[in-house]
Structure 1
Amino acid sequence: MSSTDTPVAGFEDVVGRYVNLRSSGRDQRIYFEEAGSGPALLCLHTAGADSRQFRHLLNDPEITGRFRVVAFDLPWHGRSFPPEGWWEEEYLLTADAYVAIVRDLAAALNMEQPTVIGCSMAGSLVLELARRHADEIGAVIGLSGALKVNGRFQDWSLRPDVNAQQSVPTWTSSLMAPQSPEVSRREVWWIYSQGGPGIYRGDTYFYSQDLDLRGRGHEIDTTACKVYLLTGEYDHACTPADTADAIAGIPGAKGGAMKDIGHFPMAENYPLFKTYLLPILAELHADATGNDLDSLALEGTRNA
């Protein structure tokens, strides 16, 4: 092979590891990836998917130069196995178990006052984290999150005559904006095609059945834990109106709709999503470090 034919090795700064911890009375082996240093930014993936959705954020030196970015796979997802005895139970994610694993993971990785960013079911979960544990969380950023989301918990993906590895990713792909790059939309589809049997359905149990914060937004203390909510205008699972209702119901919450983007902003169109994220991170970094980071705000950045 000539020198011109030799592939060039390009190593990313992202490091992947496993951590063993106990959560909700069960031993868990959790896969996580991290990059950067500074105040912690803990990233939570969507229902039925895994932390690969945050690969662009993990590889963005403008972010990792100021934050320690961590993304992990929930138990039953991605590279995290289910706990022992999983074959004896139906997988249904609950708010208690979800809150517990996020707190236990943060503690195991020595995160103090992390900013927690989550999308879809995790966009709603961060509100419950803020409600229950505002003293432990520095801030939350909910993407496609609301006080209540209906209609996502369905049984059809369990039918033996339905190929869930194609039908689930195709169903969820309708939530993305047509303007988002095809290569990114296809990547979201691919990640969804690899979920375990019944896992997407089990996640949506939490999203549509177990969690209901309607009428409880006032219980979230945004003076102790800042709340930001952003939803893409093409999202028809958690609509911009759903998120607007949440913002109105949580005193001190900030955010709004993102133009030209859908349900998976950090994965389907990261460059556009970044223009909405940077002003929030600039504000949070200034709060955490006392330094004004105007350099984080790109020219032309849109404020949510």
Structure 2
Amino acid sequence: MSVEPIIGRYVTVQAGGRSYRIYFEEAGEGRPILCLHTAGAHTAQWRHLMNDAEVTASNRIIAFDMPWHSKSLPPEGAQDEEYLLTTEGYIEIILALLDALGLDAPVLAGCSMGGRIALQLAAMHPDRFSGFIAIEASDFQPAWYDIDWFHRPDAHGGEMGAALVSANISPHAPAAERWNTLWMFMQSGPGVFRGDLSFYTQDDSLIGRLGQIDTGKTPVHIIVGAYDLTCTPEDARRTADAIPGATLAVMDELGHFPMSEHPEGFRPFFLEALAKMPG
């Protein structure tokens, strides 16, 4: 039996006039890499990289649960409101966490909705980061499903969410990690996946901001899986082409949750991305 090097703690931040108690994990030392999970999931998606001794030898990998997700509880009074994630609220939480943890210009690595917000931050707050790794990220995709199905009294939103995203996992993914990835979605709280998807499928403000991104100051590297049906390689390529200087890598055998569904397949692409970021 071995004890993993991952350390989990809590930090309280203020954002949007509210107090949030946020759970975060970290491993390693050196260059800080702040990692963002996908919609409806949580920090455990990054556990394999946090346990990778080669990655953590020179990088401090930090991942956190967004409020409402897993160990980060909703704020006080949330029972009387509808959870709908917004670009502005998402950015406020991330920047507040940077301040609370004293992170000076970390690399930001986000997947899915985390990749989308990484590109928003590249356009709006590039001075707070040294580079951006946007995984399964593109300018915008409208929903091809009714997101209200994920918050109904006669259906289990977590199980429905897992059923939906199962089609976004590569057939090359190991069976155990496929199940672990789906289990994270089954754990989602009532209405949380729906609230995340509201941001992901309805906010198209990034389209007009892509031209603001200056990759000469902060590099942007986009990674996409060939088996991603939500953010296709074509979507990612369209987005990369709209950002002068952005680079793109397509993972032939991976899907929408590469760091979780197929960690060994994702590893070389993440190492390549880190090599493109400032040391």
| TM-score with structure 1 setting the length | 0.89
The 1-side partners of 2:178 and 2:56 are apart by 24
Aligned 8 A contact 1:244 1:256 in 2: no
Deviation string, structure 1 residues 43-96 (Cα, Å, up to 9, x no partner): 000001100000001111111001010000000001000000001110000000
2:142 equivalent to 1:150:
yes
Q: Which residue of 1 aligns with 2:250?
A: 257
The 2-side partners of 1:128 and 1:223 are apart by 16
Matches within 5 A, 1:172-211: 172-211=165-204
Aligned 8 A contact 2:219 2:276 in 1: no
2:59 equivalent to 1:100:
no
Matches within 5 A, 1:114-153: 114-151=106-143
Q: Which residue of 2 aligns with 1:109?
A: 101
Please state how far the C-alpha of 1:185 moved relative to its aligned partner. Answer: 0.5
Specify the code of the residue in structure 2 equivalent to 1:137.
F
Deviation string, structure 1 residues 189-226 (Cα, Å, up to 9, x no partner): 11110000000000011111124322431111111211
Larger Rg: 1
Structure 2 unmatched ranges of 5 or more: none
Give secondary structure in 2 for the equivalent of 1:32: strand
Question: What is the CA RMSD across the aligned residues, in angstroms?
Answer: 1.1
Identity %, equivalent residues: 42
2:235 equivalent to 1:242:
yes
Aligned 8 A contact 1:117 1:143 in 2: yes
Deviation string, structure 1 residues 145-184 (Cα, Å, up to 9, x no partner): 0011211661011222222231111111110000110100
User: Which structure ranks higher in relative contact order (CA pairs < 8 Å, sequence separation ≥ 6)?
Assistant: 2
Alignment equivalent of 1:219, drawn from 201, 205, 212: 212
**Aligned pair in 2 of structure 1 residues 219, 264: CA closer, same or farther (>3 Å)?**
same
The 2-side partners of 1:141 and 1:149 are apart by 19
Aligned 8 A contact 1:232 1:263 in 2: yes
| TM-score with structure 2 setting the length | 0.97
Aligned 8 A contact 1:217 1:251 in 2: no
Structure 1 unmatched ranges of 5 or more: 1-8, 289-304
Number of residue pairs matched by the alignment: 278
**Aligned pair in 2 of structure 1 residues 283, 157: CA closer, same or farther (>3 Å)?**
closer
Aligned 8 A contact 1:240 1:256 in 2: no
